[in-house]
Amino acid sequence: MTDQASNIYPEAAPAERIDGKAFATALRADVAEGSARFRAQAGRQPGLAVILVGDDPASQVYVKTKMRQAADAGITSFPHLLPGNTNQDELLQLIALLNGDDQVDGILVQLPLPAQIEEKAVIEAIDPAKDVDGFHPVNVGRLSTGQSALVPCTPLGCLLLLQDRLGDLSGKKAVVVGRSNIVGKPMGQLLLNAHCTVTTVHSRSQDLAAECRSADILVVAVGRAEMIDASYIKPGAIVLDVGINRIALEDGQSRLTGDVDFDAVSTVAGAVTPVPGGIGPMTVACLLRNTLSAAQARTAH
Ligand SMILES: NC(=O)C1=CN([C@@H]2O[C@H](COP(=O)(O)OP(=O)(O)OC[C@H]3O[C@@H](n4cnc5c(N)ncnc54)[C@H](OP(=O)(O)O)[C@@H]3O)[C@@H](O)[C@H]2O)C=CC1
Ligand SMILES: Nc1nc(=O)c2c([nH]1)NC[C@@H]1CN(c3ccc(C(=O)N[C@@H](CCC(=O)O)C(=O)O)cc3)C=[N+]21
């Protein structure tokens, strides 16, 4: 952080830290209530199948967190931990089995997958009604045409936080940094559906900082540690930091950091989400919310 960057608006009050972790805890309590009602009506708990191929330690941690929080929210999880050399046909056979299993309402295949498996083929094999990640082209199409859909968890978590703080988002200027299928694109779509004026920027954009400085709402999902400093921020803006970057420290340890330089941005913004404790926990809470929604929709007809 440069002195210049931290002092461009010296009169501003420091930004509020948005507690995504606490919000996610409240959201999981809502899901638990809904799951209990579902169980009373359907005679079973909502079910979530979680597939992990390989033994990447970070992915193992995420999968454990998801299963523990699912149990706490009254959702049964069905873990499928497959060896790293699993081939595509084996994975597709498992998905076909889960598509046909009435106890399973949601199917999550942890990404990234090993190189021998094509992500697109796997995503397209999942029954769209059980696609709790919202990555299937049917759900992507439904979201982009404003129909009810299973919506990707990370952008859904961002939207819920924004609506909690701002209520109606109509007419707000929103800038999304990043255009991945998982975060950036569905985020733009959700903000557009909520009547924001949306700009999506990426690695080929010109004058990224100027685009970002026009934003009342700035959502950052680039995967570059602390890239966004105070010079990207409009005074008073709400900044959501999706980035999860593990950086090595000198003592051999590591720490998690976002795509936003939290301290620098806090001198200018109105409110900022931290990493950890921001969007990450919201993602997992929204996965459980989507599982409950899928269970309700599957038993409604
Ligand atoms: N909190 C959570 O729950 C989750 C967090 N994440 C994290 O969010 C981050 C983004 O993830 P994801 O969307 O999957 O990442 P991707 O790598 O798929 O996409 C990154 C996007 O950022 C753009 N980009 C990269 N460098 C720059 C740059 N210098 N200037 C402008 N744009 C740039 C890329 O542009 P281009 O398209 O032109 O290449 C691309 O659109 C990661 O840190 C990831 O770990 C992801 C999912 C969930
Ligand atoms: N099919 C699929 N769906 C996903 O949603 C998906 C995925 N694959 N692959 C990986 C990414 C990443 N992701 C995160 C979820 C929670 C935290 C999270 O809870 N983070 C904690 C910190 C956890 C820690 O300390 O490591 C926090 O930010 O506070 C982070 C990242 C979901 N993803």
Output the pLDDT for position 24.
98
Distance 15 CA to ligand 1 centre (A): 24
Per-residue model confidence as pLDDT tens digits over 167-184: 999 999 999 999 999 999
Taking residues 266-272, report their average pLDDT. 98
Output the pLDDT for position 1.
46
Per-residue model confidence as pLDDT tens digits over 56-112: 888 888 899 999 999 999 999 999 999 999 999 999 999 999 999 999 999 999 999
Amino acid code (one letter) for 279: I
> Predicted ipTM?
0.98
Look over the chain and give the mean of its residue pLDDT values, rounded to a whole number: 95
Output the pLDDT for position 139.
98
Helix (H) or strand (E) holding 293: helix 279-299
**Catalytic member of 105, 131, 133, 261:** 133
66 is a catalytic site residue:
yes
Q: Which ligand is nearest to the CA of 152?
A: 2
- Inter-residue long-range contacts of 122-131, CB under 8 Å, 24+ positions, other chains counted: 122/88, 122/91, 122/92, 122/95, 125/92, 125/95, 125/96, 125/99, 126/95, 126/99, 127/99, 129/294, 129/297, 129/298, 130/98, 130/99, 130/104, 130/105, 130/106, 130/294, 130/298, 131/106, 131/107
Which residue has the CA at smallest separation from atom 20 of ligand 2? 280
110 is a catalytic site residue:
yes
41 is a catalytic site residue:
no
Indicate the DSSP class of residue 163. Answer: H
Residue ranges and CATH numbers for the domains of the chain are 43-128 (3.40.50.10860), 152-281 (3.40.50.720)
Percent of the chain scoring above 90 in pLDDT: 92
Taking residues 123-127, report their average pLDDT. 98
Output the pLDDT for position 13.
79
Assess whether pLDDT exceeds 70 at residue 257.
yes
Assess whether pLDDT exceeds 90 at residue 218.
yes
Taking residues 15-19, report their average pLDDT. 97
Taking residues 220-224, report their average pLDDT. 98
